[in-house]
Amino acid sequence: MSFLPGKNILLGISGGIAAYKSAELVRLLRKQGANVRVCMTAAAQEFITPLTLQALSGNPVHTELLDPQAELGMGHIELARWADAILIAPATANTLARLTYGLADDLLNTVCLASKAPLAVAPAMNQQMWRNPATQHNIRILQERGIRVFGPGEGEQACGDTGLGRMLEAAELVQTLETCCATSQALHGTRVLITAGPTREPIDPVRFLTNRSSGKMGYAVALAAAKMGAEVVLVSGPVALECPPGVKRILTESAADMLKATCEQAQQANLFIATAAVADYTPMEVAGRKIKKNAETLSIEMKRTTDILATIKREHPHLFTVGFAAETHDLMEYARSKLERKGIDMIAANSVADGKAFDQPTNALEVVWKDGHHSFPEMSKQRLAEELMALVAAHYKQRKTSDDPD
Ligand code: CTP
């Protein structure tokens, strides 16, 4: 699917030496059939002139927030509404910091704040500035908000250093923008139900059994699905995470609560993704009063909980269903056997050997389905969730077309 032809792309240019590559970027975007408008910060104009970009884009270049003349033509709000996608290339450390804090004291940042369009940034800076914890912190926050980060690349830098921080080449940026925008509305009109986080199985009024799941992967999957245009319901166990924007969250505690809430929501769903680390066993009885330490040993008799994923698939066989599996060994074998045993459409398996994955910012996945599999190498959970959702959406669409060819 091609996204760029006829689309309105707002190119933001901030003040870095890589701004010279933006001229080529404008040319390539137009060659792909996109309408391009350029918004430059004051510092960017020290590196490349607005006149060059005006000539290449065929449109006046936007530079001032408080310019009555410019506001007469296309003011900042119109510009924000005009854009189908915004790409800031180069995005300096300063611009990234300003985006993180939502500053609105220049035209570029104000337009980004005022726009609903997908936003991507192509960082360009000295390798030490890129590695600085402040920049890394800002990048993480921007990614969590769903802002796409293209690059940076590695190599020799204008200042003589070598390392990460080079802006990607114009052709790579155009290709990445094309790919991520083409998938950006792939789940429009689809209702996605997701379980996430751990559960808490009560022992007595003050104690419970739980596990190490942070819910980060499930929340990242929920955000990724929402960004692809899906209506997302997230049934969550107790976690220390905020509800992702555009997602409806239902908070639950025990495996039984999670089962009930999920069953209630499944009726309306088209796609179900079970990322939750649901307790497999729960105490047979919950003590009504706090258990006192009267004995040397304590045994708690447990019973199996209901498998939410298998139950939903059994009750709604046409629901496209994706499970997760955390394994310490024989990853692929267990993934395949769970896929068959639960009768689900896909399973995403990850290794939890040596403390991997649980409560970590990164993860790697092996995704398995009936007649194939795909490996995602280690990357941030948000990026992984986006890649996973693109794969899930493609399989879901394929199933939908074969079920209903008209
Ligand atoms: N799951 C569920 N309800 C449960 C248990 C698991 O929905 N009561 C879902 C999880 O959300 C995940 C998948 O099932 O998608 C995990 O499969 P499962 O066989 O339960 O994995 P493990 O608990 O790791 O099982 P095993 O002990 O066989 O390794």
State the Cα–Cα distance between residues 243 and 204, nearest whole angstrom: 29
Count of CB atoms situated within 10 Å of the CB of 45: 16
pLDDT tens digits along 269-296 = 999 999 999 999 999 999 999 999 999 9
**Probe ligand 1: pick from 271, 278, 315, 333, max atoms within 8 Å of CB?**
278
pLDDT cut 70: percent of the chain above it? 96
State the Cα–Cα distance between residues 263 and 254, nearest whole angstrom: 14
Q: Which atom of ligand 1 is nearest to the CA of 322?
A: 15
197 lines ligand 1 (CB under 6 A): no
Query: What's the confidence (pLDDT) of residue 184?
Result: 67
State the Cα–Cα distance between residues 67 and 72, nearest whole angstrom: 9
CATH number assigned to the domain with residue range 8-183, chosen from the 4 options 1.10.1370.20, 3.40.50.1950, 1.10.3720.10, 3.60.10.10: 3.40.50.1950
308 lines ligand 1 (CB under 6 A): yes
Containing 216, the helix (H) or strand (E) segment is: helix 216-227
Query: What's the confidence (pLDDT) of residue 355?
Result: 67
Query: What's the confidence (pLDDT) of residue 1?
Result: 46
Query: 33 near 6, Cβ under 8 Å?
Result: yes
Q: What is the CATH number of domain 191-403?
A: 3.40.50.10300
pLDDT tens digits along 15-49 = 999 999 999 999 999 999 999 999 999 999 999 99
348 lines ligand 1 (CB under 6 A): no
What's the DSSP call for residue 186?
T
**Probe ligand 1: pick from 307, 329, 337, 350, max atoms within 8 Å of CB?**
307
pLDDT tens digits along 84-110 = 999 999 999 999 999 999 999 999 999
Instruction: Give the residues across from 121 on adjacent strands.
Output: 88, 149
Q: Which atom of ligand 1 is nearest to the CA of 312?
A: 7
pLDDT tens digits along 137-196 = 999 899 878 788 999 998 888 888 888 999 999 999 998 888 777 666 789 889 999 999
* Structure token digits, residue 196: 């996430």
313 lines ligand 1 (CB under 6 A): no
Count of CB atoms situated within 10 Å of the CB of 39: 26
pLDDT tens digits along 354-402 = 766 667 788 899 999 999 999 999 888 888 999 999 999 999 998 888 8
196 lines ligand 1 (CB under 6 A): no
Displacement of CA 202 from its chain's centroid (Å): 33
State the Cα–Cα distance between residues 264 and 346, nearest whole angstrom: 22
Count of CB atoms situated within 10 Å of the CB of 172: 14
112 in active site: no
Containing 373, the helix (H) or strand (E) segment is: strand 372-380
pLDDT cut 90: percent of the chain above it? 74
State the Cα–Cα distance between residues 233 and 245, nearest whole angstrom: 12
* Structure token digits, residue 255: 């495996």
* Structure token digits, residue 13: 């240019």
Backbone angles phi, psi at 86, to 5 degrees: -120, 130
Q: What is the SS3 assignment for 161?
A: coil
Segments making up each domain of the chain, as ranges: 8-183, 191-403
Same fold, 8-183 and 191-403: yes
Catalytic residue among 39, 112, 159, 181: 159
State the Cα–Cα distance between residues 128 and 364, nearest whole angstrom: 27
Q: Which of 2, 21, 3, 65 is nearest to 11 (CA)?
A: 21
State the Cα–Cα distance between residues 71 and 405, nearest whole angstrom: 49
Cis peptide before 317 (omega within 30 of 0): no
Q: Please give the model's pTM, rounded to 2 decimal places.
A: 0.67
